Amino acid sequence: MLELRHAADRGLANLGWLHSHHTFSFGSYYDPEQTGFSDLLVINDDRVRPGRGFDTHGHHDMEILTYVLEGALEHKDSMGNGSIIRPGDVQMMSAGTGIRHSEFNASPQDMVHLLQIWIVPDRQGVTPRYQQQHIAAADKRGRLRLIVAPDGADGSLSVYQDTRVYAGCFNGAEQQRFELPADRYAYVQVARGALTVNGERLSEGDGARLRKVRELAFGEGDNAEVLLFDLRAHELHYH
């Protein structure tokens, strides 16, 4: 079963310097029907004005994935990490016992566009950790590239959960079939462009929950960039 989550139905926070669409309940946006999916808790589609950003704030016991689509994001944290995250870069923070960090648009003139994703961890109280990896565009062209996995397989980032995340770019005749393991859920998020998934047309910002589906077919892309989450088959109840 494929259940569409249309981009236009998402929550919106417009703070002037920040324009953020919330796929799932977040901050002041709450929808009891949209409180995450399996261990996937947050997908925020953020656009940040030049020179602005998120002041230093804290997290604990959460896996936080940042995927930059355009521009440059400056990251600083209480673990001593400082970096610029650009398109193709994937960043993962395991908040564990607690971290504090800030994220700012590193450009004085260009917007930064990113997805921030929260995954509920399978353990609490871990030592915080930071990972960053660049995934070449060619590795995602016409295929799904593993970017996050529990064991960091195939050069991916590690996550404290039975979750795997894939990224792919599809245009024109490019297509891929993906076989989901038995008794798993999947979530698809279109980061930009448009493509067809199992016969359904999805455009930028659209998402889809998939239950009791073993094969996913991606194709008919129009400059599409897409994320696929391979998730445990359970319903999230997180507060």
Domains, the chain, with CATH or none: 2-232 (2.60.120.10)
Compute the average pLDDT of residues 61-83. Answer: 86
pLDDT bin (cut points 50, 70, 90) of residue 74 is confident
Does 75 have pLDDT greater than 80?
no
Compute the average pLDDT of residues 70-98. Answer: 85
Q: What tokens were used for 50?
A: 């030049």
Q: What is the pLDDT of residue 169?
A: 98
> What one-letter code names the amino acid at 168?
G
pLDDT bin (cut points 50, 70, 90) of residue 101 is low
Q: What tokens were used for 214?
A: 């073993």
- Note if the pTM is more than 0.85: yes
Residues 95 and 58: their CA atoms lie apart, in Å, by 9
Does 53 have pLDDT greater than 90?
no
Residues 40 and 231: their CA atoms lie apart, in Å, by 8
Does 238 have pLDDT greater than 60?
no
Does 55 have pLDDT greater than 70?
no
Q: Average model confidence (pLDDT) for the chain?
A: 92
Cα-based distances in Å from 171 to 113, 141, 203: 21, 8, 13
> Under 8 Å CB-to-CB from 57, ≥6 apart: which residues?
100, 101, 102
Cα-based distances in Å from 193 to 47, 73, 166, 169: 16, 22, 17, 9
User: CA torsion 56→118→134→126, rounded to 10°?
Assistant: 80
Lowest mean pLDDT among 31-45, 83-97, 181-195: 83-97
